A and B are shown apart, each in its own frame.
Chain A
């Protein structure tokens, strides 16, 4: 049973189709990388998977008992966050909000889960520091910990390495890979960085305003589109 299955799905803005012909399945434990150039519909797809956008055509099916509030999400950072007065702990704990429901305050379980995830990502050493004073890599780890607090099944990452230097970028990718391997969490990641994508991901979904490739990473490397796209990257 697939966690997420798209069947002939199109997404768009006000009648303009941003991405169409989506036909793919994500199974539990997969590491899917969504590739494509700017404006190829990657972010629109993520919004669609998060149910922030309804498909124009086709349907997105959630299987395996996956509920919309069980998706962990790592969004791109906004300008307002860069000078936000909040401690790392407060940010991580806010990932438990969806599980909180109508209760006004966090339970002991919520705090325990937040503490576990902070430990897993090495955030606990600076959990009382101000979010805006952390380095880019530390901020990203805090946001990852928050995303882990919101899910046990699937993690959606939107350009997790945007704006990070090369060393930290590799660190973040390795961290994501470890999470995928150790916890069996399904990962869907949007990325420009093809080299890292093929290194870590098990599946590739290539978009050019339509689905041009979906399959295993090995098959992608041998495909015409993959060879062309990666060749362009290398040159």
Chain B
């Protein structure tokens, strides 16, 4: 096992991918808790499709993908947020419209310029080879910014997630914090999209939050647990994809599904037994 890991990390592109991936899955998990609880899960999905469209445009223009995608996806995030707050247009329908429109635009642009080739497949389902050195630097800076902002505004994000009306009534600028959540989500999605794939990135947001909600009962523990689950799942996903030569994005999602089922099943075991089992496990580990 350790030999495999050593071998894996002797490839610089894999180290880069894992570093960025871990940071992105951490950010996605933290934001995911709020998004899932606010019933905004679909926004993540919609944004990733917009991201696909912008990637296609960036390739056609021969520009750096991240610098083109990030501003457009942030704009789309604000727009989607506005739609879901406006009760006149049904939010889910609007998101579906935007998703499919950006997919259509993206596919058309790709087929007109480079032609339908492996690029399309890579955008859709992700590629571990996608990260260049400058991408990695930008990703690390942005991911740290997302983490920092999340920690600084953690209590505000909780209040806006739990009860927007109360927060608004007591003078908290809820619109601002909703925009902050949308802004951070947009950045996270663009960063993770090329590795995980436009169709799979939203799972990084939704799965860890839902998984930890099976067992945890406080907002703080849900947040911490979901961050941990996400990071662990990503790591195992990458390792499995390396050993079995499976697509990275899909492998990470599969590990996430497994974790979800595990947590869901663990709920049916009473807490005292769970604690005992955990203690036994740790004791045995010590002996080994």
Q: Interface on A for B, CB 8 Å cutoff?
A: 50, 52, 67-69, 71-73, 75, 78, 80-81, 84-87, 90-91, 93-95, 97-98, 100, 104-106, 128-130, 133, 146-147, 150, 156
Contact = CB atoms under 8 A, between A and B. Distances in A.
A149 to B, nearest CB: 9
B163 A85 contact: no
A124 B279 CA distance: 30
B261 interface: no
B219 A90 contact: yes
The 10 A-B pairs of least Cβ separation, nearest first, read A69-B171, A130-B217, A98-B170, A73-B169, A50-B169, A87-B218, A86-B219, A94-B159, A104-B152, A75-B165
B82 interface: no
A97 B153 CA distance: 11
B167 A81 contact: no
A28 B151 CA distance: 39
A97 B159 contact: yes
A85 to B, nearest CB: 5
A85 B213 contact: yes
Nearest to A147: B166
Interface residues of B, number: 28
Contact of B155 (A67, A73, A94): A94
Interface in B145-197: 151-156, 158-159, 162-163, 165-172
Given A80-B39, A94-B158, A94-B162, A85 B171 contact: no
A69 B159 CA distance: 15
Given A50-B169, A72-B170, 17 more contacts: A67-B171, A69-B171, A73-B170, A75-B169, A78-B165, A80-B39, A85-B213, A85-B219, A87-B219, A90-B219, A94-B155, A94-B158, A95-B170, A97-B170, A98-B172, A130-B218, A147-B166
13 contacts: A73-B165, A78-B165, A85-B222, A90-B218, A94-B158, A94-B159, A94-B162, A95-B166, A97-B156, A100-B155, A104-B152, A130-B218, A146-B166
Contacts of A75: 163, 165-166, 169
B277 interface: no
